[in-house]
Amino acid sequence: MSKALNLVKSFVKEEEGATMVEYGLMLALIAIVCIVAVGFVGTQASSLFSGIGGHISSST
């Protein structure tokens, strides 16, 4: 029983697990920001090209 308790105590004291969790959270946050940025830029680019296409077709 004491071996299992010591194993749990050493697992809780280890900082590698916490570091991995922190890196995972940062990676998830970066991924969310990238997805939102690509969505926003894609929408803006689409409206820009639609406007340019409208001006070109109306001028010819």
- Report d(CA 25, CA 19) in Å as an integer: 10
Higher pLDDT, 43 or 30: 30
Query: Quick one: pLDDT at residue 37?
Result: 92
Query: Quick one: pLDDT at residue 1?
Result: 65
**Structure tokens given for 58:** 């109306």
Q: Is 31 helix (H, G, I), strand (E, B) or coil?
A: helix
What 8-state DSSP symbol labels residue 15? S
pTM of the model: 0.52
Whether the per-residue pLDDT at 16 is higher than 70: the answer is no
**Dihedral angle sign, alpha carbons of residues 7, 8, 13, 18:** positive
